[in-house]
Amino acid sequence: MKINIIGAGVAGLSAGCYLQMNGFETEIFERHTTFGGLCTSWQRGGYTFESGLQWLLGSGRSNPFYQLWSELIDMDSIRFVHHDVRMEIEVTDNTDIFGDKVFHLYTNLEQLERYLLSIAPEDEASIKKLVHTMRRMQSYEIPPKIRVVPQLLPWYRKTGFIRYLPLLFFLHRVKRETNFTFAEKLKNPFLKEAFRLFFDGDELPLLILTMPLAFSDLKGTGYPIGGSVGFTGHIEQKYLELGGKIRYRAEVEKIVVKNNQATGLLLKTGEVIQSDITISAADWNFTLFNALEGKYVNRTILELRSHEKLKVYYSVFMVSLGVAAGFANKPHFLRFPLADTLISPDGSQYTRMEAHINNYDPTLAPEGKTAISISFYTKNANYWINLRLADYEKYLVEKQDFSRSIIDLADAKFGGIKEHIEVIDVATPATFHRYTNNSKGSVQGWLPGKNIIAQSPVKIELPGLKDFYLAGHWTIPGGGLPVAIKSARDVSQIICHRKKVPFRIRPHPP
């Protein structure tokens, strides 16, 4: 039985692995020249610039995702870096009692609690409650070790999920807390401002911060040496070893449908590839409204497209620099205020800057040198996408001028950058859109709402269409690599169930 998969990102590769393990013939069609999708990095002049992977949920055995990754990858072969400090946030108007304007988000909960209490003893109750919440998270399996897609279980086995009720009650109590609502409970002005700035000034569920931090304390959210390409390369290698096939530069134009059944793919070249089942691990909007021409939708899908239910995750303007200097004593991830407002050509106004100094991965730069990336998130990605199409020369000028301003600001902050720059690489939202086809150049999928544990309105099957499934970071708000592998595994299990094939995670013997 032949299964066509659109997209060689983590979801597409993972689905291919699981299906090959279970005796299906699969082929992946990728519009780009390489694998990884948004989880990617690229080389320029001896430097490697990273865009997708800052930490991995499941890097250690303390998190259930470790077991999922281990189904596809020899996790013991990967060296992970576990940062003592997740990020540093320089506040604007306040200082702590020690005269420091920088907030340090420690990954060790005991150290974090001591630090917070030393800064704000007047907020002891709120601080202890915050740390206690993260300790509680460590006592649960998040996500639960559910090895079978729940809808495939008979009723008498579903009753076994009752043991997860305490987790559900716990999450229900904390689901609506945001960084803003928590900050309002604090008395200390330094701490209050720091919490408001955790998501670069946006209000998002506090669970997005506390859940990864709980597993960071258990060494479960490390950064893999080698970055995105190094990590996803293990999955691609596994897929090829299992007999899977990948076609690069194979852009899909349409999903072929006959009698409301997906039967193949029409490529841009005009070639038609027949299949029994089709999986799209590509952009949600492209899949539903271009490849399927908007024929298999309902009210919920239309509300998603109009962003009534969910917003699309931000895109980014990213300047990456190869610098002939070590920066060994600089923070690896810092957000700090700007003296003056920086205005992007797309109209976005920035009062803060985010810098990643990759001084912890020796594979990203020659010895004694450093790869630095500076990111500005934008909701106006279409400006760059449309400008590149309409006036390419103007696009290049605006891209270059804005990047120069950013480099000047970085040099003013850190020093020793401009005179040591060897490589400059600039990625705009148009870059991310062009290489990944992700809607609005988004660097993930849907932006999570304030209720992060609410049931996702995105479904992996479409109304009225048979033998077709969705996988990838668009299937659950927030997206990311955990969603990619989990959705790929779930879809593979469903296919096996419907084709009466026992789902297994080991390849057939040679």
Same domain, 203 and 257: no
Report the mean per-residue pLDDT for the chain.
90
Give how far Cα 297 sits from Cα of 253, 359, 416, 458, 463, Å: 19, 47, 54, 11, 6
In this structure, the answer to whether residues 382 and 397 fall within a common structural domain is: yes
Q: Three-class SS of residue 362?
A: coil
Q: Find, among 113, 311, 310, 130, the residue nearest to 211 by Cα.
A: 130
Whether residue 384 is predicted with pLDDT greater than 80 in this model: the reply is: yes
Instruction: Say how far apart CA 57 and CA 74 lie, in whole Å.
Output: 16
* Burial class (CB within 10 angstroms; exposed 0-12, middle 13-18, buried 19+) of 154: exposed
Distance CA(179)–CA(201), nearest Å, equals 10
What is the spatial order of strands in the sheet that 272-274 belongs to?
252-258, 261-267, 272-274
The confidence score (pLDDT) of residue 453 equals 59
**Position 454 pLDDT exceeds 70:** no
Q: Give the max Cα distance, the chain.
A: 71
**Same domain assignment for residues 110 and 201:** yes
| Residue 491 lies inside a defined structural domain of this protein | yes
Query: By mean pLDDT, which of 57-61, 162-166, 291-295, 361-365 is the weakest?
Result: 162-166
- Asked if 37 and 10 touch (Cβ cutoff 8 Å), the reply is yes
Query: Residue 432 — pLDDT band, cuts 50, 70, 90?
Result: very high
Whether residue 260 lies inside any domain: the answer is: yes
Q: Is residue 223 part of a domain?
A: no
- 365-387 mean pLDDT: 96
348 and 421 co-located in one domain: yes
pLDDT at position 452: 63
Residues 112 and 31 in one domain: no
Phi and psi based region of residue 23 (left: phi greater than 0; alpha: psi -120 to 50; beta: remaining): left
Domain assignment of residue 454, given as a range: 2-41+58-62+228-310+447-498
Residue ending a domain, choose from 199, 218, 237: 218
Q: Which residue has the higher pLDDT, 99 or 357?
A: 357
Using 50, 70 and 90 to split pLDDT, how confident is the model at 413?
Answer: very high
Gap between the Cα atoms of 317 and 375, Å rounded: 6
Query: CA–CA separation, 342 vs 338, rounded Å?
Result: 8
Residue 503 inside a domain? The answer is no
Query: Does the pTM of the predicted model rise above 0.75?
Result: yes
- Identify the three-state secondary structure at position 9: strand
Q: Categorize the per-residue pLDDT at 176 as very low, low, confident or very high, splitting at 50, 70 and 90.
A: confident
- pLDDT average, residue stretch 46-62: 90
Q: Is residue 52 part of a domain?
A: no
* In contact, 29 and 273? CB cutoff 8 Å: yes
Q: How confident is the model at residue 144 (pLDDT cuts 50, 70, 90)?
A: low
In a domain, 143, yes or no: yes
With bands split at pLDDT 50, 70 and 90, how would you rate the model's confidence at 63?
confident
Regarding predicted confidence, which is higher, 451 or 409? 409
Buried b (16+ CB within 10 A) or exposed e, 379-416: bbbbbbbebbeeeeeebeebbeebbeebbebbbebbee
Please count the structural domains in the chain.
Answer: 3
The listed range with the strongest mean pLDDT (146-155, 156-165, 478-487) is 478-487
Which residues sit opposite 9 in a β-bridge?
36
Q: Confidence class of residue 99 from pLDDT cuts 50, 70 and 90?
A: confident
- Do 287 and 272 share a structural domain? yes
Sorting pLDDT into bands at 50, 70 and 90, what band is 179?
very high
| Poorest-pLDDT segment among 86-95, 129-138, 161-170, 303-312 | 161-170
Residue at which a domain ends, from 218, 252, 287 = 218
Q: Residue for token digits 């039967």?
A: 263
Q: What is the mean pLDDT of residues 456-466?
A: 93
All residues at 6 or more sequence positions from 12 whose CB lies less than 8 Å from its CB, including other chains: 5, 6, 28, 30, 37, 279, 281, 282, 471, 472, 488
pLDDT value at 157 more than 70: no
Q: What is the CATH number of the domain that holds 292?
A: 3.50.50.60
Residue 378 shares a structural domain with residue 475: no
For residues 146 and 236, membership in a common domain is answered with: no
For 356, other C-beta atoms within 10 Å of its C-beta total: 21
- Verify that 436 and 454 share a domain, yes or no: no
257 and 165 co-located in one domain: no
Residue where one domain finishes, among candidates 153, 187, 218: 218
Same domain, 129 and 160: yes
What is the tens place of the pLDDT at every residue in 211-257?
889 999 999 999 999 999 999 999 999 999 999 999 999 999 999 99
Local confidence band at 183 (pLDDT 50, 70, 90 cut-offs) = very high
pLDDT at 509 (0 to 100):
42
On whether residue 76 sits in a domain, the answer given is no
Q: Is residue 50 part of a domain?
A: no
Distance CA 118, CA 108 (A): 15
- What is residue 510's predicted lDDT score, i.e. its pLDDT? 40
Average pLDDT of the residues in 456-471: 94
Task: Assess whether 279 and 323 both reside in one domain.
Answer: no
